[in-house]
Structure 1
Amino acid sequence: MSEPVQPATETGATDADATDADAEPTETEPPAEGAETAETEPSSEDADAPAPVRTGAQSVVRSLENAGVEHLFGVQGGAIMPVYDAVYDSEMTHYMMAHEQAAAHAADAYGIVSGTPGVCLATSGPGATNLVTGIADANMDSDPMIALTGQVPTEFVGNDAFQETDTTGVTAPITKDNTFASSSDRVGDDVGEAFALAGSGRPGPTLVDLPKDVTNGDTDQEPGSPTLPDTYHVQERAPAEDVADAARTVEESNQPVLLVGGGVVKGEATEEARAFATEYEIPVVTTMPALGSFPEDHELSLEMGGMHGTGYANMALTHTDCLIAVGCRFDDRLTGGIETFAPDAEVVHVDIDPAEISKNIEADHPLVGDAATVLDQLDAAMESAPKATKWRATCKQWQSEYPMEYAAPEDEPVKPQFVVEAYDAATGDDAIVTTGVGQHQMWAAQYWTYTEPRTWVSSHGLGTMGYGLPAAIGARIAADADGNEDAAVIAFEGDGSFLMTMQELAVAVRENLDVTVAVLNNEYIGMVRQWQDAFFDGRHSASDYGWCPDFAKLAEAFGAKGIAVEAYDEVADAVEESVNYDGPAVVDFRVDPAENVYPMVPSGGDNGQFALAEDQL
């Protein structure tokens, strides 16, 4: 391997001691007779200069280096090979995933934990289409990510060439921006622009499709630092008059609620949200993507609202007279029926994306702008706190009336909630939780006490089964890169969800990544089974997973630590062993197959009429 190129400097240059092996030799004139022939050392400036860009692929890689990218997730293939060849000479670390979908999920999770766009790569055709689920997932959750896809040579595009797909056409509806690269001279800047767009304003996934002739083509154009297009503008501050009107509404309310959405985490506004809530003593409800944005052990926390939110959060949302929603898109899993959601509230809606304002819930006070900036504006405009002493007492009463409790008889199968609480107790506040999708996701959201942002990594809007393990890989790498090597990474998976991406154990073992996978194995697609019991007369059509493999033995076959648990008295030792194991561990918890997720608001229902048992649905 050639000497690696060093990471980008502040000026966008990179350091390298390497010379280009393909450079043409130059002829030099012999020194004139009598001339001095002392050897001259190259200046330190010349020694530190990067190898010149000579191909489009090298320009792509240089652009990523200029952006400060250190880690890549992908799967090699024919049309993306020129880019991978250029990566060979870079100091960026590439993680070869077992499947392209997992590459996208790992990059997505990397972006969630680090706050900077994750990068995934795939070849043309099936490589690109296998990324689609992960791209759509990132798009629904506004996660910063950039996808680089190989493409057949430009002259073959449109001719149904081998492994050709209209990647930009396929991904246009699920990307913040996508580009078909058409020039070797321009391709590096295309990538830089995509990187800048992915992390700016409302974050999201971007994509650059890279025809092989463009990446193989000659160029001497050095790409610059990531730059936003001139046409892209983000409104940071809300109009002062609108902020003042909203502040008067908050002051005059008697039953205010601060609804914190995922945009508070994306916008690095958790400190501002916490300060606003505590300064004015306003109870706080979070959406599921916002778990950790407000500490759940705080006396003002009502935890998560929505379909499987706490009873007290949903009661507060139903009875509030002033809802201050920040970075929230009011999706159906939060609101239930639109007509019954916060029916008596004046709604103050803060969001950086004007398209979200009044899209689902009508905003009485629309405040378009950056979450942190607008919260600071609102704080500055406040003249007094709302008189909400009785309201806070009512919220406390609801917490007593609707506690998050469950029965755990020792003579019955292990309850999944017990497993979640055991891992929470065994790890620190900096532990990162990732999940797949299903009942296990809800238990992980409900029974873990989240106190810090960017410690909850899950698939919210798209609801992608199998997300948990590849997300744990991306989260682990991001945490290590940020100096948080001691933070535990716990992936809660269901048996059905784990089966979809368990091949990524090979990656975790190969890279010796310290991740723990807790499989809450109830031998069902549990959430489907729960709905079938509630709404389909208990007809378990295609939801029974009694044929699952022994996940502990399967883990051992991959080279991971495998542990099986069937009784309560085995839980503590299994949790301790898996958390302390230096490398990937999988614990197959055989949990109660009849356990359901409650509280539950039926789809389109009234949040204030949540069910605590099946007979209440």
Structure 2
Amino acid sequence: MSEHAPPTQESEASTGKSTPTQVTDGSTAIVRALENAGVEHAFGVQGGAIMPVYDALWDSEITHITMAHEQGASHAADAYGVVSGTPGVCLATSGPGATNLVTGIADASMDSDAMIALTGQVPSHMVGSDAFQETDTTGVTAPITKHNYFASDSDTVGKTVGEAFALSETGRPGPTLVDLPKDVSFGETDRDPGEPTPPPGSTPTPAADSAAVDAAVAAIERAERPLCLFGGGVIKAEACEAARTFIHEYDIPAVTTMPGIGTVPEDDELCLSWAGMHGTGYANMAITHTDCLIAVGTRFDDRLTGGIETFAPEAEVIHIDIDPAEISKNIHADYPLIGDAATVLEQVHDAIETPPATREWVEQCSAWKDDYPMDYQTPEDEPLRPEFVVEAFDEATGDDTIVTTGVGQHQMWASQYWTYKEPRTWVSSHGLGTMGYGLPAAIGARFAADDSQDVICFDGDGSFLMTMQELSVAVRENLDITVAILNNEYIGMVRQWQDAFFEGRHMASEYNWMPEFDKMAEAFGAKGWRVDDYDEVADAIEGALEYDGPSVIDFHIDPRANVYPMVPSGGANGKFALTEEQL
């Protein structure tokens, strides 16, 4: 239902509305399919070709959140799915509505996030005629969806939508899309789509081959420096408990990828935080020196590995993944274990008879923490440090606080200086690196989160500018979210690279034309603060967290602040730089 709460039982009785939606045409079948899937929220923007579906939503208990832009709808749906563990739903009309979803669909594809997009389309007989607002949506989105569908029949469209929903969360998650010609949505039918069912053959076998497990276990048992690498797939598979049990049972240190943040509490003595280009020095040292890498639910992307030939150079690699296409795609797997992360971890756990002796290795990893601490200086005569802001928010909020971000330096600081203890509390754009992700993601996260959870969005000035129109949605819905803009008047990560690799030529990276974001927030109807000094930080954070509604704090930070450690692109993880001079 657009922009208003679901109908109460009293209002249903007085208006004669039925729940669930009675199937009379294609559009009501579409909505019934979503209801049968347990969908509670959907994000979208109205338009001509999708209008029949929106009309059917009028009688549904599904709460529809009208976003300011279709890209915002796709990011909100993506984040909703990340936090809730169920596929997010977004809707858009044909043509520009559908193409505006593309960035968010690509983002979900790169990060293996379950999401379903429903797009309107011109009537079937007009497809291919360059009709008003016609785009080949299935053609455009084929490379960035797990599968997409062109609905061709009103009798089957509901089942198709249910199948797309189920497929998005089956096996390795990912986005799906159903393109809905207007005549199919309008066409008469009384067929109930039933429960959502994935297509035959799409459900993978959860357990790995037992002989392959035995071979991998033998490698673990003979290892002297074993290390677990937990990726985002561990969280998606609800395998965090199995992962935590495994490392503590056998006293094996663990690192995560950025999408895997929260798999293991970062204050756990065995956790070395996350590895890769801007990961901790101690995580990258552990990867460089391990002799047995137990990698679970990771695709070994270049931001994690650096140079392929220098990644974990001394290690035998055990790779656990639900998707066989990821095995040896980037990093050769000596022991591939194809299956569900939780199931396979339990298989490996139960098969180990002689645990590796890891005491000296654990001590070495602990020593690296002391050697390469994540510390920084805060001179009173210099501008505000971004790391200080992140840590101040962390101290002021609970362990279950959800953090969303845009992309850039602020994203790295938010991932480095916040101590994450639970899965599904870190929500960001990883593989695609989408600036503007943070604010709409915070909106989606807010609808998925418990009321007791805080939702904090760390954004950069340039990133916030890309989707700040969604602040109007947060105000309209009175959403309790806090946006912390780490404002350095640059596209900060670009500026950092220009200083390091382009002789300091700041071509198109200086953003000293930024608006006053605190005043802009107030113009939207949100609460705004501007912070320039250390002694203003605590009061602004307290005020924003106490405010019952959307708030924006414009932190003017040191424009010279850089993100370290840093592994140069294609470099060796163990040769990370701690200063620009070391690059």
Give me the TM-score of the superposition, normalised by structure 1.
0.92
Partners in 1 of 2:16 and 2:26 — Cα distance? 15
Question: What is the match of residue 364 of structure 1?
Answer: 334
Q: 1:349 aligns with which of 293, 298, 319?
A: 319
Alignment of 1:491 onto 2:457: yes
State the match for 1:537 in structure 2: 503
**Structure-2 residue corresponding to 1:527:** 493
Structure 2 unaligned spans of 5+: none
SS of residue paired to 1:409 = coil
> Is 1:607 matched with 2:573?
yes
Return closer, same or farther for 1:19/1:508 CA change in 2, 3 Å cut-off. Answer: closer
* Alignment partner, residue 516 of structure 1: 482
**CA contact under 8 A between 2:407 and 2:435: conserved in structure 1?**
yes
Q: Does the CA-based 8 Å contact 1:5-1:50 persist in structure 2?
A: no
Aligned residue for 1:247?
A: 217
Contact 1:197/1:228 (<8 A) preserved = yes
Residue matched to 2:558: 592
Q: In the alignment, is the contact (CA less than 8 A) between 1:532 and 1:540 conserved in 2? A: yes
Runs of 4+ in 1 over 6 A off after TM superposition: 1-7, 18-21
Tell me, in whole angstroms, the C-alpha distance in 2 between the residues paired with 1:308 and 1:65: 42
Residue 40 (structure 1) aligns with: none
Match of 1:385 among 335, 355, 362: 355
TM-superposed deviation, 1:20: 7.7
SS of equivalent residue, structure 1 residue 378? helix
Counterpart amino acid of 2:447? I
Q: Which residue of 1 is the match for residue 299 of structure 2? A: 329
Residue of structure 1 in register with 2:276 after alignment: 306
Give me the whole-angstrom Cα distance separating, in 1, the residues matched to 2:169 and 2:342. Answer: 16
CA distance in 2, matches of 1:19, 1:198: 35
- How far apart are 1:18 and its partner, in Å? 8.3
Provide the rounded CA distance (Å) in 2 between the counterparts of 1:344 and 1:612: 24
Residues 383-405 of structure 1: CA distance to partner in whole angstroms, max 9, x if unpaired? 12211111111111111110001
Q: 1:281 aligns with which of 222, 241, 251?
A: 251
CA distance in 1, matches of 2:102, 2:536: 40
1:319 aligns with 2:319: no
Asked if 2 retains the 8 angstrom alpha-carbon contact of 1:4 and 1:89, the reply is no
Distance 2:453 2:16 in 1: 41
Q: Deviations over 1:127-181 (max 9, x none)?
A: 0000000000000000010000000000000000000000000000000010000
Distance 2:310 2:438 in 1: 33
**Separation in structure 2 between the aligned mates of residue 170 and residue 344 of structure 1, nearest angstrom:** 43
The CA distance in 2 between the partners of 1:151 and 1:527, in whole Å, is 39
Letter of the 1:214 partner, please give it.
V
Are 2:162 and 1:192 aligned? yes
Q: 2:314, 2:154 → 1: CA distance?
A: 58
Q: Secondary structure at the match of 1:288?
A: coil
Contact 1:4 1:90 survives alignment (8 Å): no
Structure 2 counterpart of 1:379, one-letter code: H
Q: Give, in angstroms, the shift of residue 49 of structure 1.
A: 7.5
Tell me how far 1:17 sits from its aligned partner: 5.3
| 1:94 equivalent among 57, 64, 85 | 64
**1:84 aligns to 2:60 (yes or no):** no
Q: 1:355, 1:298 → 2: CA distance?
A: 32
Contact 1:5 1:16 in 2 (8 A): no
> Using the alignment, how far apart are the partners of 2:212 and 2:468 within structure 1?
50
SS of 1:433's equivalent in the other structure is strand
User: How far apart, in 1, do the equivalents of 2:27 and 2:436 lie?
Assistant: 32
> What amino acid sits opposite 2:139 in the alignment?
G
Q: What pairs with 1:8-157 in structure 2 (closer than 5 Å)?
A: 50=20, 52-157=22-127
Is this contact kept in 2: 1:148–1:210, CA < 8 A?
yes
Q: Deviations over 1:74-131 (max 9, x none)?
A: 0000000000000011111000000000000000000000000000000000000000
* Number of the residue aligned with 1:567: 533
Corresponding residue of 2:190: 220
| 8 A contact 1:489–1:516 mirrored in 2 | yes
Q: 2: distance between equivalents of 1:378 and 1:448?
A: 31
Q: Taking structure 1 as reference, are residues 472 and 51 closer, same or farther at Cα in structure 2, changes over 3 Å only?
A: closer
Distance 2:311 2:179 in 1: 42
Q: How much does 1:361 deviate?
A: 0.3
Counterpart secondary structure, 2:259? helix
**Which residue does the alignment assign to 2:130?**
160
CA offset at residue 486 of structure 1? 1.5
User: For residues 50 and 593 of structure 1, what CA distance do their matches in structure 2 show?
Assistant: 54
In structure 1, the partner of 2:369 is 399
**Quick check: 2:402–2:424 contact (8 Å CA) kept in 1?**
yes
Q: Which amino acid in structure 2 is aligned with residue 491 of structure 1?
A: C
For residues 581 and 185 of structure 2, the distance between their equivalents in structure 1, rounded to whole angstroms, comes to 61
Question: Could you tell me which amino acid in structure 2 is paired with residue 180 of structure 1?
Answer: F
Distance 1:145 1:534 in 2: 38
Query: 1:262 Cα shift?
Result: 0.3
2:579 counterpart of 1:579: no
Task: Work out the CA distance in 1 between the residues paired with 2:19 and 2:480.
Answer: 37
Tell me if the contact between 1:17 and 1:50 (Cα under 8 Å) persists in the aligned partners.
no
Query: Could you say if the C-alpha distance between residues 522 and 220 of structure 1 is closer, same or farther in structure 2, counting changes exceeding 3 Å?
Result: same
Structure showing greater radius of gyration is 1
SS at match of 1:129: helix
| Contact preservation (8 Å) 2:71, 2:102 | yes
Q: Distance in 2 between matches of 1:395 and 1:51?
A: 57
Paired with 2:548 and 2:16, the residues of 1 have a C-alpha distance of 40
How far off its partner does 1:231 sit? 3.0
Equivalent pairs counted in the alignment come to: 580
Q: How far 1:296 sits from its partner (Å)?
A: 0.4
| Aligned AA (1:170) | V
User: Which residue does the alignment assign to 1:11?
Assistant: none
- Correspondence 1:456 to 2:456: no
Contact 1:4 1:18 in 2 (8 A): no
**Offset, 1:16:** 7.2
Provide the C-alpha distance between the structure 2 equivalents of 1:235 and 1:391, rounded to a whole number of angstroms. 35
Query: Is residue 241 of structure 2 the alignment partner of residue 271 of structure 1?
Result: yes
Partner of 1:470 in structure 2?
440
Shift of 1:5: 9.0
1:408-419 → structure 2 map (5 Å cutoff): 408-419=378-389
Shift of 1:426: 0.2
CA distance in structure 2 between the partners assigned to 1:282 and 1:51 by the alignment: 52
| Mapped partners of 1:287, 1:49: distance in 2 | 44
Per the alignment, residue 201 of structure 2 pairs with 231
Q: 1:214 to 1:5 in 2, by over 3 A?
A: farther
Give the conservation status (yes or no) of the 8 Å contact 2:442–2:457: yes
Residue 540 of structure 1 aligns to which amino acid in structure 2? Answer: H
- How far, CA to CA, are the matches of 2:203 and 2:414 in structure 1? 38
Cα drift, residue 233 of structure 1? 3.0
Provide the C-alpha distance between the structure 1 equivalents of 2:132 and 2:65, rounded to a whole number of angstroms: 26
CA distance in 2 between partners of 1:472 and 1:538 (Å) = 34
* Partners of 1:432 and 1:410 in 2: CA distance: 30
Equivalent residues in 2 for 1:421-460 (5 A)? 421-460=391-430
| Aligned equivalents of 1:441, 1:5: Cα separation in 2 | 35
Cα distance between partner residues in 1 of 2:294 and 2:506: 42
